Amino acid sequence: MKRFEGRVALVTGGGSGIGRAACLAFAREGARVVIDDIRVEGGEETLRLIKEAGGEAVFVKADVSKAAEVEAMVQKAIDAYGRLDCACNNAGIGEPLKRVHKTSEDNWDRVMATNLKGVYLCMKAEIPHMLKQGKGAIVNTASLAGLHGLVGQTAYVASKHGVVGLTKSAAIEYATTGVRINCICPGVIATPLITHQLTDKPHMEKVYVGMEPIGRLGKPEEIAAAMLWLCSDEASFCVGSAFSVDGGEVAG
């Protein structure tokens, strides 16, 4: 029997990078997958990859920063598969590298809306279904930027520190209900979020690799593997952790 057979997993930002790797891993392990993304093209490509490999999934287009869209997304998961066992609230965006006094209020609002409010709205919509089942696992995607500061990325860093705090508080609120909530803190991972920057600023690759004592960037699949473990019954005593998967960055 596969590890997630009979279970339903929702992944936001499933159309690219870490989210896509998580969707593919859940499907390989037998879960029925609800792929969310704001970009239809990416979400449909993940759906195609899952179906091609013989898995089961649906794609739902929803912007995680909009409450009505998030509620409709979770309802579509319930309508399609009747339950929700695992939720990876993973959708997130970066920001241009600028010092605080050069940044705009619009940038702050945009980053917070997706990275922090989006995680809050998703948990708010997901938790009632998990409480009804008496069981569920949520993994929010924070970042190493949720554990330490980074020059030129204040809104991103603040949003990810927020995800860590939100995760810890929600985790202890529901700790006795069977709903486990954790977050994951990836180091620098080779996804479009990072590789887009490298096209304009190739020198940044050295900087990013230099942040990782292991001497290379992480792969999306290495984060997905940890997300699945945190969602699995093997992680039954993990509650409210900010789990670093970072090639040694936070230890360095």
| Binding residue (CB under 6 A) for ligand NAD from 11, 17, 117, 174 | 17
Q: Which stretch binds ligand NAD (CB under 6 A): 30-38, 77-85, 224-232, 237-245?
A: 30-38
Question: Where does residue 252 rank: exposed (0-12), middle (13-18), buried (19+ CB within 10 A)?
Answer: exposed
Instruction: Give yes or no for residue 136 binding ligand NAD (CB under 6 A).
Output: no
Q: Total binding residues for ligand NAD by CB under 6 A?
A: 30
Q: Which stretch binds ligand NAD (CB under 6 A): 25-33, 85-93, 123-131, 168-176?
A: 85-93
CB of 7 to ligand NAD, least distance (A): 22
CB of 228 to ligand NAD, least distance (A): 15
Compute the Cα dihedral for 75, 76, 82, 85 and give only its sign.
negative
Structure tokens at 76: 């579509």
Instruction: Give yes or no for residue 88 binding ligand NAD (CB under 6 A).
Output: no
Instruction: Give yes or no for residue 186 binding ligand NAD (CB under 6 A).
Output: yes
The residue behind tokens 């593997």 is: 225
Identify whether the C-beta of residue 223 lies closer than 8 Å to the C-beta of residue 127.
no
CB of 177 to ligand NAD, least distance (A): 26
Residues noted as catalytic: 156
Identify whether the C-beta of residue 58 lies closer than 8 Å to the C-beta of residue 76.
yes
Instruction: Give yes or no for residue 247 binding ligand NAD (CB under 6 A).
Output: no
Instruction: Give yes or no for residue 240 binding ligand NAD (CB under 6 A).
Output: no
Instruction: Give yes or no for residue 193 binding ligand NAD (CB under 6 A).
Output: yes
Instruction: Give yes or no for residue 95 binding ligand NAD (CB under 6 A).
Output: no
Q: Give, as ranges, the residues between 54 and 73 that touch ligand NAD (CB under 6 A).
A: 63-65
CB of 157 to ligand NAD, least distance (A): 11
Q: Which stretch binds ligand NAD (CB under 6 A): 25-33, 34-42, 127-135, 197-205?
A: 34-42
Of the candidates 2, 3, 26, the one whose C-alpha atom is nearest the C-alpha of residue 14 is: 26
Instruction: Give yes or no for residue 162 binding ligand NAD (CB under 6 A).
Output: no
Q: How far is CA 45 from CA 15, 57, 63, 194, 226, in A?
A: 7, 12, 18, 20, 23
Contacts of 61-65 with CB under 8 Å at 24 or more apart are: 61/36, 61/37, 62/12, 62/36, 62/38, 63/38, 64/12, 64/13, 64/36, 64/38, 64/89, 64/91, 64/114, 64/118, 64/119, 64/121, 64/122, 65/113, 65/114, 65/117, 65/118, 65/121
Site of interaction with ligand NAD (CB under 6 A): 12-13, 15-19, 36-39, 42, 63-65, 90-93, 114, 118, 141, 143, 186, 188-189, 191-194
